[in-house]
Chains A and B, each alone.
Chain A
Amino acid sequence: MNWLIDLFILTLVIVCAIAAISVRDLLSTAILFGAYSFMMCLLWAIMGAVDVAFTEASVGAGVSTVFFVAAVFRTTRRTKD
């Protein structure tokens, strides 16, 4: 059962990573990156690295995403690839 959850999250991590770099809108990229970070945080929590997961939840999924959104707000959403 445990490995099923594991596998599910692993797939989601990879899907989010690929989606984040291939979607053609920078705001979506930022949000997908947030999702990626959150999935990563779950993965680490499963592996027992609670402190790291905690940090990643607050930094990766929280503050980094906000930074990205702020930067996209100040620049542009347009992207060619």
Chain B
Amino acid sequence: MHEFFMEIVDKYNYWLYIILMMIGLYAMIVKNNLIKKLVGMNIFQTAIILFYISIGYKEDATLPIIVNAHGVHSPEELAINTAEYINPLPHVLMLTAIVVSVATLGVALALSVKVYQQYKTLEEDEIRMRIRESSL
């Protein structure tokens, strides 16, 4: 038990993203308001982005920008040590993921504006009630 606990403390960044993901997923499933669900969706997506960023992190490493590269023409002049730079690949993937999340957000907001035009409410149970009324 103690070992398991230490394990968790060692990797606190990993479990932080789990907490955030749970918050986001909970909001998406349980909340009744469409905009709240969208906020939950974004929290969920950022949690996954946090996970990827944590993958890329290296202890005692610097930003993924090669230092002193200005004006260097032959690569031999630069001695690059891989351990000195943070892994750039997860960052690249997550840039794409952020873009995807904002695009989804735009479409989803447009849809919720359309839903509001139709039903004059954003609460899911009220919308369901309207649908039931109109189909009777």
Contact = CB atoms under 8 A, between A and B. Distances in A.
Instruction: Answer yes or no: A and B touching, Cβ < 8 Å.
Output: yes
Interface of A: 10, 13-14, 17-18, 20-21, 26, 29-30, 33, 36-37, 40, 43-44, 47-52, 55-56, 59-60, 63-64, 67-68, 70-72, 74-76, 78-81
A75 B43 contact: no
Interface residues of B, number: 47
Contact of B112 (A13, A49, A63, A71): A71
Given A21-B27, A71-B109, A79-B36, A63 B102 contact: yes
Interface string B80-102: 00000010001100110011001
29 contacts: A10-B12, A10-B16, A14-B20, A30-B35, A33-B42, A47-B54, A47-B56, A47-B57, A47-B86, A48-B61, A48-B62, A48-B63, A49-B91, A49-B94, A55-B99, A56-B46, A56-B98, A59-B99, A60-B46, A63-B102, A68-B38, A71-B109, A72-B35, A75-B113, A76-B116, A79-B33, A79-B35, A79-B123, A80-B33
A20 B53 contact: no
A74 to B, nearest CB: 5
Contacts of A55: 95, 98-99
Contacts, number: 125
A21 B12 CA distance: 23
Interface of B: 12, 16, 19-20, 23-24, 26-27, 31-33, 35-36, 38-40, 42-43, 46, 49-50, 53-54, 56-57, 61-65, 86, 90-91, 94-95, 98-99, 102, 105-106, 109, 112-113, 116, 121-123
Contact of B20 (A13, A51, A56, A74): A13
B35 A50 contact: no
